[in-house]
């Protein structure tokens, strides 16, 4: 750019001569048709002066044809300055990126022109300016560089949002900057400075505006702060970034402070002050104490500890200095927890291993100071651990005077500084619990200071608070990058609800940021991991249940305030039936069947009996509670049976059968009639009744119940039946007697009364004989007697034995008798049933055969 002072209007420098511009040009440069200014009523367009600008352009106050900018739906993100960044477009109320498939300079130029940033100098690929985290709106974009809007370009994939890309393929651009070529200006535009030769030169990308040279910044791009004519992301100790874009001095009590509108939001305090939330105070309030005071109050003091005899600083025999003398520790009960406390006290981090003292060079003579050290892991120093002094008699007996079993350790190379915690000048309250998962805010160190006390340390960078809760320090309210969603899923499917905040800095989203229907997320689901908040803030539910439906709120919170947005979840579930209740009722009454379904959308209910769908709008059947209750009116015995409840929604159906029982009160079919009889005559009174269940008939005389058995001799309800058994088995004869006056029952065998013994057992009239013998065969008679008479019933017992050839059996009256029974193979014998499948492979092999034989009156089967 040049500033022209001597050339008259209508002429341009042509070598060493002055040449006249074309008639429409008021001013021109290099040649007659390259207009840089036009006469009144004309507008400059592409070096020419025209009366009307082309479509998509307008004539501005400087008589220039300027593009009608379409920037509301385009932005650059993540670049080092205003001329570069990841390209994002706005669609469906959400910002999204462009896939770099086919991305070139022509495509990139369209976006630079839309933003008024000249042409593209570089088309960047592979997420050069960071990865987006929302939608990918465009893919396979193809522009020729002349389009006014990306929507005028062609796309191989025409549908916005359709792609096959990931965010590591996000496209970016570097623009040349505003096109001010061929213009004479009175003042260089923003981003340029006037050099000594009256040419506007571009500022460094770190500067929004500059003076004298490209690095001498006078203002900075958003997110950077001006200090000493340089732009940087941070202002350094004692300064903070003011929202107007410059570094300013922190409050006198702050060593470091947060960026924002005020200088008193402190990160850390100067000597003599303590940090309470974001304020530096000279003394902590009554309900709080400084960390150093708490350390002192709980008796936490440093030891003098060292390792000796090792090959390096990380290993050796543990020694402590007591009363000015170094001494060892007896290795009784010494474990990894004890070793870790020593390693951390020495600044080495955790213990790597416990080793034998005999592996190291043991000094000639030194005392033993401690025995039975028992650390719990939260201690800062070894002196905090439980231990015994070595001077008691039992310790002397346990420990080796040659120190071969002294405590010896090897520490890891990681570094640990106790003073980082113990010297913190922050105000804290004592928690009445030891450190747990939810004791402190996420990522806040928790330090145990006793068996059941703890304190939460400093909040993460960019936040402030008491350690139990921390707020993001910000200058403006947080915003949501992604709007709330309405999700519909089937039961068992995963759910992912996005909650991504942006701000300066962006707020962190934790479990406490989410709520369901106005209440915290269910603790049981969080502990089981079924619900969890992902690192980018989304709420993930692994297996949706019907009870997960509802309104979920994500709340972004920082030091300025909070913002919330809702997402709704609808869980669809196949129908099932939770409860069914059968019904029982008396005839002419009503009964109600209950069928309680589960599912979503809420199932509709149909009632059937057999294949017939019931008309629930008639007089007989009716439903209540959306079909969950079916009432059957004026029931009769014909209504008894099985009814079917069918629950349906768009996902399927479920059925359940429900029985209905109909009861009928007792009624008389035949009633007793009055009769006149003479003494000694036989009288028959008839009484027949019906009902369901079958009614019991009871007779009474003059109001007193008559016993059926008052004049009845004994009879049998169940009489004994004939039995056939084998030796050694058990037989049961039943004899169920009916009669008055408690009839007695006895048994006889072949006319001889059976006497109870170990083998003959009589109980409730029945007879059981165990370990049967051949002589137990015969006829058994049950005899029942009462004062009205007696009756008897008989049954026979046969005992058949099968004697296996060569096997010891009990035969006849003799025991321990071997029966070697022959069965010649002749026409009287046949094959043993089931032996047909055997084949005779040798002449000497014998087919299994059987023959009936009489032996002592018994049938014997012999087998060869």
Question: Which of 737, 666, 653 minimizes the C-alpha distance to 695?
Answer: 666
The helix (run of H) or strand (run of E) holding residue 340 is helix 336-345
Determine contact, residues 12/28, Cβ cutoff 8 Å.
Answer: yes
Q: Which residues contact 440 (CB under 8 A, 6 or more apart)?
A: 446, 456, 457, 467, 468
pLDDT for 103 equals 92
pLDDT number for residue 714: 58
Q: Is 384 helix (H, G, I), strand (E, B) or coil?
A: helix
**Per-position DSSP letters for 113-136, written without gaps between them:** HHTT---EEEEE-TTTT----SEE
pTM exceeding the 0.75 threshold for the entire prediction: no
What is the phi/psi pair of residue 61, to 5°? -65, -20
Say how far apart CA 80 and CA 85 lie, in whole Å. Answer: 7
Tokens 């008491």 locate to 466
> For residues 670 and 690, what is the distance between their CA atoms, to the nearest angstrom?
10
356 touches 408 (CB < 8 A): yes
Judge contact between 241 and 234, C-beta under 8 A: yes
What whole-number distance in Å separates Cα of residue 513 and Cα of residue 550? 16
| DSSP-assigned states of every residue in 182-227 | T---SSPPTTEEE-TTS-EEEPPTT-SEESSSTT-EEE--TT-EEE
Residues with Cβ within 8 Å of residue 697, at least 6 apart in sequence: 687, 689
What residue has token string 């039995």?
723
Q: Residue 358 in 3-state DSSP?
A: helix
Cα 665 to Cα 372, 593, 691, distances in angstroms: 84, 21, 5
- Spatial distance between the Cα atoms of 229 and 185, rounded to a whole number of angstroms: 25
Taking alpha carbons only, the member of 684, 685, 688 closest to residue 670 is 688
Angstrom distance (rounded) from CA 372 to CA 330: 7
Per-residue pLDDT at 802: 52
b (16+ CB within 10 A) / e for 693-709: eeeeeeeeeeeeeeeeb
Task: State the pairing for strand pair 230-232/225-227.
Answer: antiparallel
What is the Cα–Cα distance from 784 to 737, expressed in whole angstroms? 7
Residues 6+ apart with CB under 8 A from 20: 10, 11, 32
Query: Do residues 409 and 353 make contact, with C-beta atoms less than 8 angstroms apart?
Result: yes
Separation between Cα atoms, residue 593 and residue 612, nearest integer Å? 17
Q: How many beta carbons lie within 10 A of that of residue 756, not counting itself? A: 11
Q: Which one, of 38, 31, 29, 20, lies nearest residue 1 by Cα?
A: 29
Spans in the chain with pLDDT lower than 50: 1-5, 70-71, 181, 393-394, 710-711, 803-864
Burial (Cβ within 10 Å: 0-12, 13-18, ≥19) of residue 334: buried
d(CA 170, CA 127): 5
Q: Which tokens hold the place of 91?
A: 């669609």
Structure tokens at 688: 């027949």
Domains in the chain, CATH or no CATH each: 11-65 (2.10.220.10), 69-179 (3.10.250.10), 208-267 (no CATH), 274-296+423-472 (no CATH), 303-417 (3.10.250.10), 479-568 (2.60.40.10), 582-664 (2.60.40.10), 715-799 (2.60.40.10), 808-861 (no CATH)
CA distance 714 to 717: 10
């Amino acid at each position: 750019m040049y500033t022209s002072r001597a050339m008259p209007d209508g002429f341009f420098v042509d070598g060493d001569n002055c040449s006249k511009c074309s008639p429409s040009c008021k001013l021109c440069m290099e040649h007659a048709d390259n207009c840089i200014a036009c006469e009144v009523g004309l507008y400059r367009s592409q070096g020419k002066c025209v009366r009307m600008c082309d479509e998509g352009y307008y004539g501005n106050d400087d008589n220039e044809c300027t593009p009608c900018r379409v920037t509301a739906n385009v932005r650059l993100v993540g670049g080092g300055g205003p001329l570069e960044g990841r390209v994002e477009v706005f669609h469906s109320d959400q910002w999204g990126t462009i896939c770099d498939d086919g991305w070139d300079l022509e495509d990139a130029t369209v976006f630079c022109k839309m933003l008024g940033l000249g042409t593209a100098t570089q088309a960047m690929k592979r997420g050069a300016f960071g990865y987006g985290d929302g939608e990918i709106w465009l893919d396979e974009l193809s522009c020729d560089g002349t389009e006014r809007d990306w929507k005028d370009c062609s796309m191989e994939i025409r549908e916005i949002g359709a792609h096959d890309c990931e965010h590591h393929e996000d496209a970016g651009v570097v623009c040349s900057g505003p096109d001010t070529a061929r213009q004479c200006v009175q003042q260089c535009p923003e981003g340029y400075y006037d050099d000594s030769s009256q040419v506007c030169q571009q500022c460094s990308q770190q500067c929004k505006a500059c003076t004298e040279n490209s690095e001498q910044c006078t203002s900075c791009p958003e997110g950077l702060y001006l200090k000493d004519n340089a732009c940087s992301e941070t202002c350094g100790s004692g300064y903070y970034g003011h929202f107007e874009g410059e570094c300013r001095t922190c409050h006198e009590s702050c060593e470091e402070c947060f960026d924002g509108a005020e200088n008193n939001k402190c990160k850390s305090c100067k000597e003599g002050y303590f940090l309470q939330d974001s304020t530096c105070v000279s003394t902590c309030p009554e309900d709080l104490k400084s960390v150093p005071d708490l350390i002192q109050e709980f008796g936490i003091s440093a030891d003098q500890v060292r390792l000796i005899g090792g090959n390096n600083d990380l290993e050796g025999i543990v020694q402590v200095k007591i009363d000015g003398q170094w001494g060892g520790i007896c290795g009784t009960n010494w474990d990894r927890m004890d070793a870790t406390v020593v390693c951390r006290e020495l600044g080495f981090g955790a213990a790597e291993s416990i080793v034998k003292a005999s592996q190291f060079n043991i000094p000639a003579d030194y005392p033993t100071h401690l025995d039975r050290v028992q650390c719990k892991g939260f201690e800062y120093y070894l002196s905090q651990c439980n231990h015994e002094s070595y001077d008691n008699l039992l310790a002397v007996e346990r420990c080796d005077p040659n120190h071969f079993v002294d405590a010896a350790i090897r520490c890891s190379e990681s570094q640990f500084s106790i003073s980082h915690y113990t010297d913190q000048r922050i105000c804290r309250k004592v928690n009445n619990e030891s450190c747990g998962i939810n004791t402190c805010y996420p990522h806040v160190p928790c330090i145990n200071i006793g068996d059941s006390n703890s304190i939460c340390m400093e909040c993460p960078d960019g936040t402030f608070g008491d350690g139990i809760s921390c707020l993001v320090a910000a200058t403006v309210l947080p915003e949501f990058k992604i709007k709330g969603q309405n999700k519909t899923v089937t039961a068992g499917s995963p759910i992912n609800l996005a909650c991504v905040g942006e701000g300066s800095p962006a707020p962190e989203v934790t479990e406490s940021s989410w709520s369901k229907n106005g209440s915290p997320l269910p603790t049981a689901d969080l502990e089981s991991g079924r619900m969890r908040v992902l690192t980018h803030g989304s709420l993930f539910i692994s297996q949706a249940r019907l009870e997960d439906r509802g309104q979920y709120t994500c709340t972004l919170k920082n030091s300025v305030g909070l913002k919330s947005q809702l997402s709704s979840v609808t869980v669809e579930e196949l129908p099932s039936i939770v409860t069914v209740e059968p019904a029982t009722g008396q005839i002419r009454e009503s009964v109600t069947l209950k069928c309680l379904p589960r599912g979503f959308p809420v199932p509709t209910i149909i009632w059937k009996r057999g294949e017939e769908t019931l008309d629930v709008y008639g007089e007989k059947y009716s439903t209540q509670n959306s079909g969950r209750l079916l009432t059957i009116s004026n029931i009769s015995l014909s209504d008894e049976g099985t009814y079917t409840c069918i629950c349906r929604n768009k996902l399927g159906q479920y059925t359940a059968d429900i029985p209905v029982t109909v009861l009928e009160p007792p009624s008389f079919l035949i009633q007793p009639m009055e009769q006149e009889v003479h003494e000694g005559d036989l009288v028959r009174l008839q009484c027949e009744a019906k009902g369901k269940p079958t009614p019991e008939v009871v007779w009474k005389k003059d109001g007193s119940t008559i016993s059926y058995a008052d004049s009845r001799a004994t009879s049998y309800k169940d009489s004994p039946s004939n039995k056939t058994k084998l030796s050694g088995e058990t037989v049961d004869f039943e004899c169920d007697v009916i009669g008055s006056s408690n009839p007695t029952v006895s048994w006889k065998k072949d006319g001889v009364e059976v006497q109870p013994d170990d083998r003959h057992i009589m109980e409730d009239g029945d007879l059981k004989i165990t370990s049967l013998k051949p002589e137990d065969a015969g006829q058994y008679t049950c005899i029942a007697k009462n004062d009205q008479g007696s009756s008897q019933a008989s049954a026979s017992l046969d005992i058949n034995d099968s004697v296996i050839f060569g096997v010891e059996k009990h035969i006849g009256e003799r025991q321990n008798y071997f029966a070697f029974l022959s069965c010649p193979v002749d026409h009287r014998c046949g094959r043993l049933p089931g032996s047909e499948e055997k084949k005779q492979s040798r002449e000497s092999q014998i087919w299994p055969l059987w023959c009936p034989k009489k032996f002592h009156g018994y049938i014997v089967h012999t087998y060869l």
